[in-house]
Amino acid sequence: MTLPLDYLPESPSQTAGPYVHIGTNPNWVEITGVWRDDLGLVLVGPETRGERILVEGVVTDGAGAPVRDALVEIWQADAAGLYPSPAETRGRADPHFSGWGRQPLSAEDGSFRFETVRPGSVPYPDGRPQAPHITVWIVARGINVGLHTRLYFADEAMANAADPLLNRIPEPERRATLVAERSERDGRAVFRFDIRLQGERETVFLDM
């Protein structure tokens, strides 16, 4: 005689479909007057602490075509490496930073662009530092379960080389798919992070 374990199974995922923006960005698809602002468009304000950066890129499919109907969300720590979340136990995050962004891809070229701050380092469960990173999550028509990945910064080479997650990628050449290229525009660092769902230089996706 054994006692059954009393867990519920997680609800299974389904694709967000081609009209996800009706629910997440109604104003963007011209469903106006229902709520004032689409959530997640702005992460920073004038009082946010830290180095302002731009994060931009495109999402492409296995044929190299832009995935114009995708929705991208990002989640990150503030400049001091603290998350604006009740589950953050190490201190209080910058009250002028939301940490969370959400955006539909451009219907023209499948691009996204977030204005944010460079995140500080946060610890791995064993206490080692993780290199600064931004969590990225993508849903779209044809994606059955939201894809989870991470953006790291090309100008953090030493931290990246010691990062516990990057070092767990079995094929070293694939680590580069998570490292955003740096350039500058109007005196501000711009990080280019293209997400390739399938095929050549396919982005590493995570089961976390």
d(CA 117, CA 146): 24
Question: Cα 100 to chain center, whole Å?
Answer: 9
What 3-state DSSP class applies to 166?
helix
Shortest Å, Cβ 154 to another protein:
19
Nearer to another protein, 139 or 179 (CB): 139
How far is residue 184 from each of residues 40, 53, 149, measured CA to CA in Å? 24, 9, 24
Shortest Å, Cβ 194 to another protein:
15
Nearer to another protein, 53 or 122 (CB): 122
In one letter, which amino acid is 28?
Answer: W
Strands 71-75 and 100-104: antiparallel
Nearer to another protein, 35 or 188 (CB): 35
Shortest Å, Cβ 7 to another protein:
5
d(CA 173, CA 36): 45
β-pair partners for 77: none
Nearer to another protein, 191 or 205 (CB): 205
d(CA 44, CA 152): 19
Shortest Å, Cβ 182 to another protein:
21
Nearer to another protein, 9 or 187 (CB): 9
Shortest Å, Cβ 163 to another protein:
11
How far is residue 156 from each of residues 129, 130, 163, measured CA to CA in Å? 13, 11, 10
